[in-house]
Amino acid sequence: MAMVTPCILVCALDPQSGICVGCGRTGDEIGSWTSMTEAQRIALMQLLPARLKTLGPVDPPQQENAQPC
């Protein structure tokens, strides 16, 4: 079974908050994603929509050949 991820292939950290403008995770959370339990990933994913709202409108970078975080 594939690992669930909030990544939408728009991988860029907001310089002020350190939050990815695509998925809402921090760099540390992205780095530790594969070592988290499924329950930890689900709990974190529930927080992400509210986090993304704190960023306000952003212009995500266009990335050719983007890879998931």
pLDDT by residue (tens digit) across 44-55?
999 999 999 988
| Confidence band, pLDDT 50/70/90 cuts, at residue 62 | low
Stated pTM of the model: 0.78
Q: Rounded CA gap, 51 and 63, in Å?
A: 22
DSSP code per residue over the chain = -PPP----S---B-TTT-BBTTT--BHHHHHHGGGS-HHHHHHHHHHHHHHHHHH-S--PPP-TT----
pLDDT by residue (tens digit) across 16-37?
899 999 999 999 999 999 999 9
Q: Is the pLDDT of residue 2 over 70?
A: yes
pLDDT of residue 31: 95
Contact assessment for residue 68 and residue 13, using Cβ atoms and an 8 Å cutoff: no
